[in-house]
Amino acid sequence: MRALVVVPAKATTPSAGGDSIDHLYCCDRGRALCGTDIADEPETDGADCVVCLDLDLLPCPVCGWHPNGGDGDA
């Protein structure tokens, strides 16, 4: 089963604050599907991580879980 955690976005330029990105994770609560370390991040509301959204359509590379219940074939 996959779950959602929301973490603050890491800015490369100064911002007005309030920016955050929603990340998805599967079997490792501390690592987002995109590879972002989310172990110690607080949950907030934000924009969806487009990389996590794309990877959510594929089987988990660690445990093999797939949202369609299959082996990765759509």
Question: pLDDT of the chain along its 74 residues, tens only?
Answer: 566 665 555 544 433 334 578 888 888 888 989 999 988 887 667 788 899 899 988 998 889 888 777 554 44
Do the domain assignments include residue 70? no
Q: Which domain holds residue 27?
A: 3-55
Q: What is the pLDDT of residue 45?
A: 72
Query: Structural domain tally of the chain?
Result: 1
Do the domain assignments include residue 67? no
pTM above threshold 0.85? no
Q: Determine the Cα–Cα distance for residues 28 and 2; give it in Å rounded to an integer.
A: 10
Do the domain assignments include residue 69? no
Do the domain assignments include residue 28? yes
Question: Encoding tokens for residue 59?
Answer: 């089987």
Do the domain assignments include residue 71? no
Do the domain assignments include residue 74? no
Do the domain assignments include residue 68? no
Q: Judge contact between 53 and 24, C-beta under 8 A.
A: yes
